[in-house]
Chains A and B, each alone.
Chain A
């Protein structure tokens, strides 16, 4: 039905359709301006908590509430940042976060690629059954596993270590699933040709498959990076020494110590937010693409 009406529409009213062509779109209707002013307002309101975070981080704690809804206090209190950075080893905590997130993302990506290749391209017994079992854990909440994992880490004497933050969560089904789906949409002919030319399996994976699956690999890498980056419950359980903490845990420990010392607390929060903002700005294309492909939802 829709094709019919579409054909009819084009034939009868081609002029009308032309209004929507990119060239004519640039003529803005008055509604566009209203809409743009409104979205700027909405964006400002939405972004307000971050602006307030920065504003408070520059206020003396004694003036945090007396200034009401004003952004500026009587003076700019840069020393909040000094207080925050000396109370927690912030450089160490940020380095931990980067180390854990990069190592975790790398491990997840490599393991996922290998599994995905086997599930998509190799023939073996019970392949599809095994894949379905694996896939079934896609919706398994990590929260269900934290207690046995903690006992395991305790037995292995890994409590309070960075490997305990990295290794247990690198084996989820999502990455393998995404890469496998992508591989299935690629023709096998490239690989067949390489094989006929005498390339071994590892060679095929490295020089034929790898260049083709860069897009889903980037998505898996970016999303597992963010997953590690923002993880809070597991670090809270398995780490109790601030020198091993990641950013969310370090911030939570600091807030536990400082209670309502809001100036330094917001200085610490601002410091914690900046690397994430950089990640969003630098990786926005991969992020948007990744989310649209179904990346790590809801976590």
Chain B
């Protein structure tokens, strides 16, 4: 119906009578805009202010200017580790998620009446509590867990999936893809449903093979959905917190520590709300830059012909 509204902003039509509704509008907008001001605008500005203080949870905040940012960028190697981990997670997670979601949604699309059932099945981990999902993965991936005892059946001595610094991040990514892929499968499935079968039939009659039809017809027609999924998946992946918090505690060492986990610890374990706010602004700037970059490429990558 209203497919993928986030991508275009329609302008409201002017009503026939162009008279102001100032007072009436104020009444309707009051709850939404007051809440927006109090719970979004003020905290956003406040977090910038707090980031310039040495701010303990209890006690008197002390103004330190840009010290928190200077420390973050030059005096805190953990920040760069955490940033690197988050970037690595974001890129790997997004690529894996999209490639698999594209493959699965195409498969389900061609499965006829069985498609919708499996689409919902793949969606289940999106809705079940992430904490429960993470806990069962922790159980499955412990050294003598079911994954390794399954591998033992084939004489393979399974590694320490969560406590080997080479593997821990990979395990987090695998768990996260499992958890989040159902969302993209449904968005892409809706995109596929929107492609006219006549178009594919025409391409087939013109002699295009299955692969050619996929690359030349399906992918361009699907590009708005793919673009939407990419934007949403990348933004979501920069906020990763629950998986490292529950599966690895950011370890071993700092190998799976992420920006939001580090932010949480600085704020609520190390009692450095000022430094945590500087980290929050770093996250904010990164997410904004990436979103701006993606939208600047939108015209080049996305086909809105239809």
Which residues of B lie under 8 Å from residue A178 when comparing CB positions? 2, 5
CB of B284 closer than 8 Å to a CB of A? yes
**Secondary structure of the B contact surface, majority rule:** helix
Given A140-B284, A144-B281, A255-B246, also A20-B197 (CB < 8 A): yes
Q: When the two chains form the complex, which single residue of A117, A123, A299 contacts B236, counting CB atoms closer than 8 Å?
A: A299
Digit string of A125-151 for contact with B (CB within 8 Å is 1, else 0)?
101101010110111111111111111
Which residues of B lie under 8 Å from residue A134 when comparing CB positions? 33, 36
Which residues of B lie under 8 Å from residue A81 when comparing CB positions? none
Query: Which chain B residues in 159-193 approach chain A with CB under 8 Å?
Result: 178, 180, 183, 186-187, 189-190
Given A117-B28, A144-B280, A277-B124, also A20-B133 (CB < 8 A): no
Max count, chain A CB within 10 A of own CB: residue among B35, B197, B246: B35
Q: Is the CB of A298 within 8 A of B233?
A: yes
Query: Which chain B residues in 103-143 approach chain A with CB under 8 Å?
Result: 104, 107-108, 110-112, 114, 116, 118-125, 127-133, 135-137, 139-140
Q: Is the CB of A181 within 8 A of B112?
A: no
Least CB separation from B179: chain A residue: A49
A-B contact count (CB 8 A): 338
CB of A13 closer than 8 Å to a CB of B? yes
Q: Is the CB of A169 within 8 A of B39?
A: yes
Which residues of A lie under 8 Å from residue B232 when comparing CB positions? 297-298
**Secondary structure of the A contact surface, majority rule:** helix
Which one of B42-50, B62-70, B72-80 is at the interface?
A: B42-50
Query: Which chain B residues in 279-306 approach chain A with CB under 8 Å?
Result: 280-281, 283-284, 287-288, 291
Q: Is the CB of B131 within 8 A of A120?
A: no
Q: How large is the interface on A (under 10, 10 to 19, 20 to 34, 35 or more residues)?
A: 35 or more
Given A232-B130, A297-B236, also A288-B111 (CB < 8 A): no
CB of B270 closer than 8 Å to a CB of A? no
CB of A17 closer than 8 Å to a CB of B? yes
Digit string of A210-241 for contact with B (CB within 8 Å is 1, else 0)?
00000110000000001001101100110000
Q: Is the CB of B140 within 8 A of A115?
A: no
Given A122-B28, A125-B22, A151-B273, also A137-B40 (CB < 8 A): yes
Q: Is the CB of A182 within 8 A of B2?
A: yes
Given A123-B14, A147-B47, also A16-B205 (CB < 8 A): yes
Q: Is the CB of B111 within 8 A of A35?
A: yes
